[in-house]
């Protein structure tokens, strides 16, 4: 029974990631600095939301979603090892940031102590980790120019924060149903 729950969770997270990534690419492509850095990246909010609710159990869904999206919408210069490493960063950054944030901010077992302030701080931690890890990897793999590194980190950071705050503000407005969902379907 638990296996099927994890399988459904992974599929749901993956499909949500693929849909929102494609939607973001279509709607906000005009805000792209490079093909890797967008000034508005709403899927970052989805990543953080799933990491907040499911913690480490969200990892496989985020990883599968990032891998599939990379294959479907990936850049031609991305080889399989780059795709795997970029997907690992995309899946692990929200998980790491949630654990770090929870150590400092104490969300509560079922997120009962979460506030908009805590979400904002978590978004900043997540955006920092994600933008640094992604862009340092991009620079070492020559996927971005070394001279673009700091600007790309900055755009990536802003895009993750803006996207996370847009997504989580929408979710936060539906806080009561979300808390019931967490209480019913969380693995905590």
Give the model's confidence band at 77: pLDDT under 50 very low, under 70 low, under 90 confident, else very high. low
pLDDT of residue 136: 94
pLDDT tens string 105-125: 888 777 777 787 888 899 999
pLDDT of residue 128: 96
pLDDT tens string 133-156: 999 999 999 888 888 889 989 999
Q: For residue 82, what are the contacts with CB-CB under 8 A and spacing of at least 6?
A: 141, 143
Give the model's confidence band at 43: pLDDT under 50 very low, under 70 low, under 90 confident, else very high. very high
Structural domains in the chain (count): 1
Q: What is the Cβ-side half-sphere exposure of residue 57, based on CA atoms within 13 angstroms?
A: 16
In the block, which residue shows the tokens 């967008």? Answer: 38
**What stretch of H or E contains 38?**
strand 37-38
Mean pLDDT of 83-102: 94
Containing structural domain, residue 112: 2-185
Give the model's confidence band at 175: pLDDT under 50 very low, under 70 low, under 90 confident, else very high. low
pLDDT of residue 73: 80
pLDDT tens string 80-90: 999 999 999 99
Determine the straight-line distance between the first and last CA of the chain, rounded to whole angstroms: 16
Write down the H helix ranges in the chain.
2-28, 43-54, 59-73, 80-105, 116-140, 149-172, 175-185
């Amino acid at each position: 029974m638990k296996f099927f729950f994890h399988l459904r969770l992974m599929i749901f997270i993956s499909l949500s990631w693929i849909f929102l990534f494609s939607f973001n690419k279509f709607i906000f492509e005009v805000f792209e600095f490079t093909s890797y850095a967008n000034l508005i990246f709403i899927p970052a909010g989805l990543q953080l939301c799933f990491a907040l609710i499911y913690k480490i159990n969200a990892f496989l869904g985020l990883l599968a979603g990032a891998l599939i999206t990379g294959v479907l919408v990936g850049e031609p210069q991305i080889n399989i090892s780059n795709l795997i490493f970029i997907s690992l960063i995309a899946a692990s950054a929200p998980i790491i940031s949630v654990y770090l944030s929870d150590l400092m901010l104490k969300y509560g077992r079922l997120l009962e102590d979460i506030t908009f302030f805590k979400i904002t701080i978590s978004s900043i931690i997540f955006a920092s980790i994600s933008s640094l890890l992604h862009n340092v990897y991009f620079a070492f793999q020559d996927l971005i120019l070394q001279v673009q590194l700091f600007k790309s980190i900055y755009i990536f950071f802003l895009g993750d924060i803006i996207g996370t705050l847009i997504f989580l503000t929408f979710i936060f407005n539906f806080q009561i149903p979300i808390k019931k969902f967490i209480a019913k379907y969380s693995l905590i």
